[in-house]
């Protein structure tokens, strides 16, 4: 049971046809970035085809945010090459930023300004022609569902409204590529649903979306292609179905029981070479369809992206 | 709800260049919007502060100050306070606004994700601060009229002098913000650099009254050159000697502009 998603009424199609249609919208090759002792991005290769929603999935600290910042040249790579919308970074980064929108993970709105003022400033920053600015602001307000709060200062908006304003701000110039860094982190389920509807609408309009997330469900619901990032590199990529098939199999067997019993099951799995993981009050054994008669009693369910993710990274996430 | 007006057919995206007026105007439009909320407080302080200086120094010290020529002490202080008004309304916003917008509000992160580069961002911020400083530099003159300062045509140059001086000091403030670890570190700069700077610049007493060593330091102080220009424009009349003063201010502004961009750029782009 979930609230019906509110429908975002407007088309958010870009006004320019992709110049390099057919070529990768984003391309990273051999990218490395160190911060002192820490290697945040460690030999990253990534291609994002135009027109898709690409999910960059990984636990906290995997290097997703650093990767996102490198795509706007706010972080410079130590090694490797990056191109965005056919422009080579960092040299042509300003040109690529003109044609893409960014929705940051952290709220960086001006607390003292109204929604309308913020959108007007960004309409100028994104070089929306003077004659079109007022309409662009109205359109962004409608995308953000904030028309009624247009003249409210940001300080007085709720967290969900601010997030929607961030999205509206990133779309004010009809970008053909949108970067969304953890777009729904910390939001309640209803607002998350609204944003998902919006992101889905973007893709339907031909906008390329690169979304980083550590919510598996988000990637599973929205992304055409998912790349799993761990310790600064991509360790797997494919459609959600491909990743599940390749790394978690068809079925998962969940065995419930008291802690002692779960310990035994884990040991049994290890001794038979089965891939298993603790999943709340149960032990989940992956590739359950391949288990022979030794399989313990339990509940079988279809494998999901979370299973594949855990199998790949060895890390449990929410 | 109606669909948005359809856009013109596909067109090549416009090319962006270096130091684009559109980017500068965009960043400054944000400053204007914020100023719209705070102009009363800012204007109040920039009028009240010189009034207090004029009253305190003009009435308190006029008996003991030894001035060259026929300048009254009130005239002397009124023109000197122009420089302090410019200093305070440029160095402090340079420091505090930069630090708050960059570190606390992350506004600069948002702007740099748009097609604006560090050079444009800092230049626009500093341009706005120095335009404001140039205008607020007129407040002490207005107050000075009440204390016997006469209006002269040369005074139309004062906003320009204030702008030029303010540009350098705003860039200085941005540089301080870029290298400061915390906002509390500003106290070192305020007490050890700005306070002596505004006192030893011929603002309240002539630098000729100072010992030779201190006098040399005063003459390196860009604020001293601002004071000289303002005083000549408002009282004595500008002469060829003032080209040197203006040259120092231009050099200071250009140098600090590049330093501010390099220092804050290093911190904004990692």
The whole-number pLDDT of residue A10 equals: 44
Confidence bin at A215 (pLDDT 50/70/90): confident
Average pLDDT over residues A64-84: 96
Chain A nearest C-alpha distance from B119 (Å): 12
pLDDT of res. B2: 35
Most confident of A273-282, B54-63, B121-130: B121-130
Residue B198's H or E segment, with its range, is helix B195-199
Is A11 in CB contact (< 8 Å) with chain B? yes
- The pLDDT of residue A158 is above 80: yes
How far apart CA A10 and CA B31 sit, in angstroms, is 31
Q: What percent of chain B has pLDDT over 90?
A: 63
Q: What is the pTM of this model?
A: 0.89
Is-contact A178 A103, C-beta < 8 A?
yes
Q: Which residues contact B95 (CB under 8 A, 6 or more apart)?
A: B173, B174, B176, B177, B180, B186, B189
- On average, the pLDDT of chain B sits at 89
Q: Can you give the pLDDT at residue A138? A: 97
pLDDT of residue A122: 98
Please tell me the predicted confidence (pLDDT) of residue A317: 52
Q: What is the pLDDT of residue A315?
A: 65
* Mean pLDDT value across residues B170-177: 98
- Return the pLDDT at A72: 97
Chain A residues within 8 A of B23 when measuring between CB atoms: 125
Is a pLDDT exceeding 70 seen at residue B12? Answer: no
Question: If you average pLDDT over residues B169-175, what whole number do you get?
Answer: 98
Q: Identify the pLDDT of residue A16.
A: 46
Q: Is the Cβ of A247 closer than 8 Å to some Cβ of chain B?
A: no
Q: What is the mean pLDDT of residues A120-146?
A: 96
Mean model confidence pLDDT for chain A:
88
pLDDT-derived band at A11, boundaries 50, 70, 90: very low
Alpha helices by DSSP H, listed for A60-188, are 64-71, 93-98, 115-125, 130-143, 159-170
ipTM rounded to 2 decimals = 0.89
Among B5, B22, B110, select the one facing A104 at the smallest CB separation. Answer: B110
Q: Is A97 on the interface with B (CB under 8 A)?
A: yes
| pLDDT per residue as tens digits for the range A18-50 | 444 447 999 999 999 999 999 999 999 999 999
Of the candidates A175, A190, A180, A171, the one whose C-alpha atom is nearest the C-alpha of residue A212 is: A180
Question: Given a cut of 60, is residue A140 above it in pLDDT?
Answer: yes
Residue B264 near residue B102, CB atoms below 8 Å: yes
Mean pLDDT over A116-127 rounds to 98
Q: And the tokens for B192?
A: 């050890």
Q: What would the mean pLDDT of B253-262 be, rounded to a whole number?
A: 98
pLDDT of residue A291: 81
Q: Closest approach of chain A CAs to the CA of B178, in angstroms? A: 16
CA dihedral A151, A156, A158, A162 (to 10 degrees): 50
B129 and B94 Cβ atoms separated by less than 8 Å: yes
Tens-digit pLDDT profile for residues A185-210: 878 888 888 889 989 999 899 999 99
Please give the pLDDT value at position B183: 93
What's the gap in Å between the CA of A159 and the closest CA on chain B? Answer: 15
**A162 in helix, strand or coil?**
helix
Q: What percent of chain B has pLDDT over 70?
A: 93
- Across the interface, which of B1, B33, B107 has its CB nearest the CB of A142? B1
pLDDT, residue B6, reads 36
CB contact under 8 A, B13 and A135: no
Contact A104/B at CB under 8 A: yes
d(CA A155, CA B230): 42
Start-to-end CA span in chain A (Å): 20
Confidence of residue B186 (pLDDT cuts 50, 70, 90): very high
Averaged pLDDT, B245-249: 96
Half-sphere exposure of B32 (CA within 13 A, CB side): 12
Residue B62, judged by CB atoms within 10 A of its CB (0-12, 13-18, 19+), counts as: middle
Residue A60 at interface with chain B, using a CB cutoff of 8 Å: no
CA atoms within 13 A on the CB side of A20: 18
* Nearest chain B alpha carbon to A172: B114
The pLDDT tens digits for A223-271 are: 999 999 999 999 999 999 999 999 888 999 999 988 888 888 888 888 8
pLDDT at residue B247, rounded to an integer: 97
> What length is written for chain A?
318
Residue bearing tokens 């998962």: A252
A122 min Cα distance to partner chain B (Å): 7
Strand order in the sheet with A26-35: A38-48, A26-35, A79-84, A87-89
Q: Given B112, B115, B269, which is nearest A126 (Cβ)?
A: B115
B112 or A216: which leads in pLDDT = B112
| Minimal CA separation from A288 to chain B, in Å | 46
């Amino acid at each position: 049971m979930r609230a019906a998603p509110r429908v975002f009424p407007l088309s958010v199609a870009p006004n320019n046809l992709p110049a390099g249609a057919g070529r990768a919208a984003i391309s990273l090759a051999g990218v490395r970035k160190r911060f002192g002792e820490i290697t945040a991005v460690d030999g990253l290769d990534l291609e994002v085809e135009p027109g898709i929603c690409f999910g960059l999935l990984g636990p906290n600290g995997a290097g997703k945010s650093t990767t996102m910042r490198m795509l706007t040249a706010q972080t410079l790579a130590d090694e490797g090459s990056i191109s965005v919308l056919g422009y080579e970074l960092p040299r042509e980064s300003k040109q690529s930023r003109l044609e893409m929108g960014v929705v940051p993970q952290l709220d960086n709105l001006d607390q003292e300004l109204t929604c309308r003022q913020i959108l007007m400033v960004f309409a100028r920053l994104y070089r929306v022609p003077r004659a079109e600015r007022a309409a662009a602001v109205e359109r962004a307000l409608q995308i953000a569902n904030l028309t009624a709060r247009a003249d409210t200062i940001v300080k007085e908006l709720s967290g969900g409204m601010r997030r929607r304003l961030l999205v509206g701000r990133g779309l004010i110039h009809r970008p053909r590529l949108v970067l969304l860094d953890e777009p729904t982190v910390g939001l309640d389920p209803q607002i998350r649903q609204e944003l998902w509807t919006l992101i889905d609408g973007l893709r339907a309009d031909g906008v390329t979306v690169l979304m980083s997330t550590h919510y598996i469900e988000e990637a599973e619901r929205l992304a055409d292609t998912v790349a799993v990032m761990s310790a600064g590199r991509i360790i797997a990529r494919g459609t959600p179905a491909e990743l599940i098939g390749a790394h978690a199999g068809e079925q998962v067997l969940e065995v419930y029981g008291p802690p002692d019993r779960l310990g035994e099951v884990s040991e049994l799995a290890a001794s038979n070479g089965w891939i298993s993981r603790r999943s709340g009050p149960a032990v989940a054994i992956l590739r359950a369809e391949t288990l022979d008669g030794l399989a313990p009693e339990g509940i079988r369910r279809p494998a999901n992206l979370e299973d594949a993710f855990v199998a790949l990274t060895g890390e449990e996430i929410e | 709800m109606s669909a948005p007006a359809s856009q013109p057919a596909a067109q090549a995206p416009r090319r962006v260049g270096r130091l684009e007026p559109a980017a500068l105007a965009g960043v400054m439009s944000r400053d204007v919007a914020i100023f719209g909320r705070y102009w009363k407080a800012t204007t109040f302080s920039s009028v009240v502060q010189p009034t207090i200086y004029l009253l305190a120094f003009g009435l308190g010290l006029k008996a003991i100050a030894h001035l060259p020529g026929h300048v009254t002490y009130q005239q002397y202080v009124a023109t000197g306070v122009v420089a302090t008004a410019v200093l305070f309304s440029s160095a402090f916003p340079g420091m505090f606004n930069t630090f708050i917008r960059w570190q606390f509000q992350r506004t600069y992160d948002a702007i740099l994700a748009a097609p604006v580069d560090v050079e444009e961002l800092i230049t626009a911020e500093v341009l706005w601060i120095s335009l404001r400083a140039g205008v607020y530099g007129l407040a002490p003159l207005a107050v000075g009229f009440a204390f016997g300062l006469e209006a002269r045509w040369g005074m139309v140059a004062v906003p320009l002098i204030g702008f030029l001086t303010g540009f350098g000091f705003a860039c200085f403030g941005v540089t301080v913000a870029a290298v400061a670890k915390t906002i509390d570190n500003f106290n070192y700069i305020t007490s050890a650099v700005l306070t002596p700077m505004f006192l030893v610049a011929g603002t309240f007493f002539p630098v000729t009254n100072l010992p030779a060593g201190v006098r040399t330091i005063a003459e390196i102080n860009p604020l001293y050159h601002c004071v000289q220009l303002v005083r000549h424009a408002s009282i004595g009349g500008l002469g060829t000697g003032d080209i040197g003063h203006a040259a120092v201010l231009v050099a200071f502004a250009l140098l600090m502009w590049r330093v501010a961009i390099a220092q804050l750029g290093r911190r904004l782009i990692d």
